[in-house]
Structure 1
Amino acid sequence: MIVYKSEDEIALIRESALILGKAHGEITKFVKEGITTKKLDKIAEDFIKDNGGIPSFKNYNGFPFSLCISVNSTVVHGMPSDYTLRDGDIISIDCGVYFKGYHSDSAYTHAVGNISPEVQELLDVTKDSLYKGIEKAIVGLRIGDIAYAIQQHAEAKKFGVVRELVGHGIGQNLHESPEVPNYGKRGQGLKLQEGLVLAIEPMINLGSRYIVQEEDGWTIRTRDNKPSAHFEHTVVVRQGQAEILTTFDYIEQAKN
C-alpha cells in the first residue's frame, strides 16, 4: 500500500531529517585514520538521542547498531566493529532518525585520507547519480524514470549498479512501498504523485554489480571485492522539482 503524506506529515519528516543531517555532520568530524567504526556508531547514537530522536536502525529486525557502516568492498549493512579506519579507506555511513513518529534516512560515503583517482571517481559518480535520480522524482513521471536516470549515469562510467538492493518509501515506517530500484526502464512503474516520500539510494560498485551476503546475515559485499559507494537522500515528490528533506550540508561544513 502506498501512503501519501500530508504537508503536516512532511513537516515532521523534515524535522527528523534535520536531526539526521546534523548527526551526519557530527560523525564526519571523527571520520579519520585511527578511529574504530564502533566509536563512530556511539557518537551517532549519543547525538541523535541528545537531540530528542531515536536511531531508526537500532534493533530494526534485530540489527544491533545505530549506523550501518560499510568500508571499502562492503556495499551496505556493514556492522560497526573494532575495525580501525586507515588511509585510503572509503566508508559509507547510513543512518536513520525516528522523531515525532516519522523516520528519515540518508547515507554518505567518505574518503579516509588519500584515495586513488578511480575510487574518487566512483564516489563522485555515485553521488551525482543520486541527484540524477532525484531530478526525476516529480509529479507525472514514474519510478522507472528515477531508476533509469541512476543506471544510465553510473553505467556510462563503466561502474556496476547493484540490483538486489533498492530504495524505498518512508514515513511512519522506515521501509514502506514502493521500492525504488537503481536500474530500470523509463516510463515504467508507479506513477509519481504529490506527497510521496522516497528514500533514493544508489549503491554503485567499482567493478561488477554482483554482491554476496556475509554469514552474519547483514553485511553485503561486492563479489569481486572491489570498492562500493552509497549515497542516499529522503525526498518528497513535487510538481516540477523534488524537495530534498535530508541534507549533506553539515557533512560538507565538517569537512572544511
Structure 2
Amino acid sequence: MADVATLSCARCSKPANLQCPKCVELKLPREAAAFCTQDCFKASWSSHKSVHLKAKQADLGMGTSDSEGWLYCLKKGQSRTPKIPYFDWTGTLRPYPISSRRMVPAHIVLPDWAADGIPTIELNSDLQRVVEIKTPDPIERMRETCLIARKVLDAAAHVVRPGITTDEIDRVVHDVTIAAGGYPSPLNYHFFPKSCCTSVNEVICHGIPDARILEDGDIVNVDVTVYYKGVHGDLNETYFVGNVDEESRRLVQCTYECLEKAISIVKPGMRFREVGEVVNRHASMSGLSVVKSICGHGIGELFHCAPNIPHYARNKAVGVMKAGQTFTIEPMINAGVWRDRMWPDGWTVVTADGQRSAQFEHTLLVTETGVEVLTARLPSSPKVFPWLDA
C-alpha cells in the first residue's frame, strides 16, 4: 500500500492515507482507491478488485462494441474472418457471422476473465481437485443467483420462435442479466464471444449465437449462466421452434426425463458415477445415445470445478455426494451416435453423424435429506413442454 495525502476511506469514509497499489499502477482516481487501514482494504478487496478489471476492460476496448462488425468466429473467439471456414460439416447447419461484443456497464461486478479471457482463479484453485462443502452464506447467495438465472432463461424462452436469430436470443439474455445486476458468465470465458450458448439441431453444446434465423421445425438449446454476488448459477433447456417433427419431440422429452431421473437419486452417500448409469439406462431404452466428452461440474464461486459428473454408463467418476455440495447435471442426448466433432470456431460441438441432439441442465444442492434444485422452474416459467401440462 502506498502513502497518499489524506482522503476518505472508500469503505468506511474515515480519514485515509493509504491507497491501493494496483490503482496507483493503473493511474485510477485516488478517491475510490483510498483506505484508512489494511483491514479496511482487505475487507473491501472482493468488490474493489473489479475496479481493476474494468480499467483493463476499458484499455482493451471492451466497454464499447467492437468495430469488427458481423464476422465468422475462429480460435475459440480470439479471431474473426469474413469468409465461412472450410469444414466437412456433419449435418445441414452452418455457422453464420456473429455480432460484436455486447457492452457491460461499469457498475456490474466482473469475474476475473472479463478483461483478459483467462479464468486464472479457477484454473489455480484447489477446488479443481477437492469437492467443496459449502457453508450457509454461499449457499444462500447461490439461491439468489440461480433464481436470477432461471428468470433470464425464461425470458429467452419467451422469444424463441421461427424468424428470430440466435443473436437476438443472446441480446435478451445479456440485457436481462445486466438489468438484474448480474454478469453473463460465458462472456469472454476462455474468449467465448457471447453471453449465452445457443445450440441448434445437431449442435450438442456451446453453439455461438449468430445471424442465422431459427426455422420452423428447429430445436434450440439455450444455456445460461449468471454471475452475481460472487457465485454462479447455471441451467439450460431445449425448446421447440414452431412445428417440430415427432422424432425430435421424443428426443427432447427423453432428455428432460433423463435429467429428472438423475436428479431423483441425488442425496448424501450416492456415488457420483451413478448419475451416468441412470441417464444411460433411460436414453438407451428409447434408442438414443449419451454424449461422453462433456459432463456436469461443480459450481459456486467458480464457474467450473470438482466434481465432474459424467452422464454415461460405466464411467470412472470418483467420490460420493455430501450435504453442502453444489454441482450441475446436464445430460446431452443424441438421436444417432454419441460421438462428436468440433467446428472450426473451437467451441461448437456437433454430432458426428449430423443427427439432432438435446440437453437439459440444473444447478443442484445436496441437502441432508436429498436435493434442492436451485434452478427449478417457477410457476411463471413459460409453458413450452407439453408433457408438463398433460
Is TM > 0.5 for Structure 1 vs Structure 2?
Answer: yes
Give the partner amino acid of 1:141.
Answer: M
Q: Give runs of aligned pairs for residues 60-209 of structure 1, distance below 5 A.
A: 60-185=189-314, 189-209=318-338
Matched residues, number: 256
Q: CA RMSD, aligned part only?
A: 1.6
Q: Is the 8 A contact 1:25 1:252 kept in 2?
A: yes
Distance 1:250 1:197 in 2: 24
2:342 is matched with 213
Deviations along 1:190-238, one digit per CA (max 9) or x if unpaired, are: 1111011011100000111010001110000001100100100000112
Distance 1:47 1:187 in 2: 39
2:351 is matched with 222
Structure 1 residues 254, 12: CA separation in 2 closer, same or farther (over 3 Å shift)?
same
**1:61 aligns to what SS in structure 2?**
helix
Deviations along 1:158-199, one digit per CA (max 9) or x if unpaired, are: 101000100000000100101000013499621111011011
Superposition deviation, residue 249 in structure 1: 2.8
Flag structure 2 segments of 5+ consecutive residues without an equivalent: 1-129, 386-390
**1:151 aligns to what SS in structure 2?**
helix
Q: Is the 8 A contact 1:168 1:180 kept in 2?
A: yes
Q: Percent identity?
A: 36
Q: Which has the larger radius of gyration?
A: 2
Superposition deviation, residue 242 in structure 1: 0.9
Superposition deviation, residue 146 in structure 1: 1.4
Superposition deviation, residue 155 in structure 1: 1.2
**1:126 aligns to what SS in structure 2?**
helix
Superposition deviation, residue 241 in structure 1: 2.2
Superposition deviation, residue 255 in structure 1: 4.1
Determine whether 1:37 maps to 2:166.
yes
2:52 is matched with none
Superposition deviation, residue 252 in structure 1: 3.9
Structure 1 residues 15, 222: CA separation in 2 closer, same or farther (over 3 Å shift)?
same
**1:249 aligns to what SS in structure 2?**
coil
Distance 1:10 1:103 in 2: 11
Distance 1:255 1:201 in 2: 19
Superposition deviation, residue 156 in structure 1: 1.3
Q: Which gives a bigger RCO, structure 1 or 2 (Cα 8 Å, sep 6+)? A: 1
Distance 1:166 1:59 in 2: 21
1:20 is matched with 149
**Alignment TM-score, normalising by the size of structure 1:** 0.96
Give the partner amino acid of 1:42.
Answer: R
Q: Is the 8 A contact 2:201 2:355 kept in 1?
A: yes
Superposition deviation, residue 250 in structure 1: 6.5
Structure 1 residues 251, 210: CA separation in 2 closer, same or farther (over 3 Å shift)?
farther
Distance 2:357 2:269 in 1: 32
Superposition deviation, residue 4 in structure 1: 1.4
Superposition deviation, residue 134 in structure 1: 0.9
Structure 1 residues 239, 88: CA separation in 2 closer, same or farther (over 3 Å shift)?
same
Flag structure 1 segments of 5+ consecutive residues without an equivalent: none
Distance 1:163 1:99 in 2: 30
**1:83 aligns to what SS in structure 2?**
coil
Distance 1:246 1:27 in 2: 15
Distance 1:103 1:230 in 2: 19
Determine whether 1:53 maps to 2:182.
yes
Deviations along 1:37-93, one digit per CA (max 9) or x if unpaired, are: 001101110000001111011010100101100000000000000000110000000
Give the partner amino acid of 1:25.
Answer: D
Q: Give runs of aligned pairs for residues 232-243 of structure 1, distance below 5 A.
A: 232-243=361-372
Distance 1:163 1:130 in 2: 15
Distance 2:377 2:195 in 1: 19
**2:273 aligns to what SS in structure 1?**
helix
More divergent stretch after superposition (237-246 vs 192-201) = 237-246
Distance 2:380 2:195 in 1: 18
